[in-house]
Amino acid sequence: MTEDQVTFENQGQRLYGILHRPEGNTRPRVGVVMLHGWGSYRIGPHQMFTKAARTLCRAGYACLRFDFRGRGDSEGEAAEANLATMISDTEVAVDNLVQWLDVKRVALLGMCSGGEVAIGAGVLREVIDSLLLWSVPMVALEEGRQRPESRTWHNLKEYARKLLRPETWRKILTGSVRTDMVRKALFEGGAYETPEENVKLGIDWYDRFTRFRGAMLFVYGGNDPSAEPSIAHYRSLCEEADIPAEFQVVSGSNHAFYSLAWEQEVIAGTLAWLNRRYSQPGDAHGADAA
């Protein structure tokens, strides 16, 4: 495969990413655009996006990892980023991937709030026909989202545990801890927008989810406190909207799949699903998932 640094612009600001292309002269017909979470950037937690992109690329899929505006190397202020700006960045990323490689079908792979972005962007480009959603929280739908108290309590315990580690204090003393992201995780439930903010952003999550005509894969860690209610929530919505969907639970895993075995299970399961979905990544008319 080849890995090239790429740039593109959205609303006058430059975004940076890495484009993974399968070896050989045959142009891939299926591309995967990877959408990182709120406090992350294009490599994903424990470089999981980098590993996933290389695995998928070796199997014939073109992959684009990029930093949203205000994250990583991309231009923009972090304080100005929200789910609407991330959705807009995703639209432009998809457009560029199609232009660069002439891919005919695109899957959006989003982790945590990146999964919310995938749901928000899925109906905005006809070429997008699959959503790969890792640890996606319940988005605000018709009745608005309530912040899951179980997730807040879980985050409190996780940060308390991290305070016992010497490396955590080294990061604190060197100023490398993102205290704004810690505050958001503890007191605002992570990247969640309030119902009022969703109205202001102009995002009708229920409409965007139920209008999507492709297929979806949901992956959760079995030890993620939001997994069980999220799976029930999305399973019901997919049945209501007649959306083909599969659900994978990684036994014992936390929200971000922080072990080599867990991340390998997620990546292998995602690749297997893509292969079933598209038959062959170079085949623009691959079979749809049942």
Q: What is the CATH number of the domain that holds 126?
A: 3.40.50.1820
Query: Strand 2-10 relative to strand 13-21: parallel, antiparallel, unpaired?
Result: antiparallel
Residues 178 and 230 in one domain: no
Q: Is residue 210 part of a domain?
A: yes
Query: Strand 62-66 relative to strand 30-35: parallel, antiparallel, unpaired?
Result: parallel
Residues 243 and 180 in one domain: no
Q: Is residue 285 part of a domain?
A: no
Q: Is residue 284 part of a domain?
A: no
Q: How many domains does the chain have?
A: 2
Q: Which residues contact 257 (CB under 8 A, 6 or more apart)?
A: 45, 48, 134, 135, 221, 250, 263, 265, 266
Counts for the chain of helices (H) and strands (E), in that order: 10, 8
Do 89 and 118 contact (CB within 8 A), yes or no?
no
Q: Is residue 283 part of a domain?
A: no
Q: Which residue in the block uniquely carries the two structure tokens 């079908």?
A: 105
pLDDT score, position 280? 57
pLDDT score, position 141? 59
Residues 10 and 83 in one domain: yes
pLDDT score, position 126? 96
Q: Is residue 288 part of a domain?
A: no
pLDDT score, position 181? 52
Residues 49 and 162 in one domain: no
Q: Is residue 247 part of a domain?
A: yes
This prediction has a pTM of: 0.81
Residues 133 and 263 in one domain: yes
Residues 96 and 205 in one domain: yes
Do 263 and 252 contact (CB within 8 A), yes or no?
no
Task: Encode burial over 223-253: b for 16+ CB neighbours within 10 A, e otherwise.
Answer: ebbbbeebbeebeebbeeeebebbbbbbeeb
pLDDT score, position 241? 94
Q: Which two tokens stand for residue 208?
A: 């965007």
Whole-number Å distance between alpha carbons of 29 and 270: 18
Per-residue confidence in pLDDT tens, the chain, 290 aa: 899 999 999 999 999 999 999 987 667 879 999 999 988 899 999 999 999 999 999 999 999 999 999 999 999 998 889 999 999 999 999 999 999 999 999 999 999 999 999 999 999 999 999 999 999 998 855 544 444 444 444 445 555 555 666 766 676 677 665 555 555 444 444 444 554 455 557 788 899 999 999 999 999 999 999 999 999 999 999 999 999 999 999 999 999 999 999 999 999 999 999 999 998 554 444 444 33
Q: What is the DSSP string of 224-270?
A: -TTHHHHHHHHHHHHHHHT--EEEEEETT--TT--SHHHHHHHHHHH
Q: Is residue 287 part of a domain?
A: no
Q: Is residue 155 part of a domain?
A: yes
Q: Which domain holds residue 161?
A: 149-188
Whole-number Å distance between alpha carbons of 108 and 131: 5
Whole-number Å distance between alpha carbons of 229 and 28: 37
Residues 57 and 178 in one domain: no
Residues 99 and 236 in one domain: yes
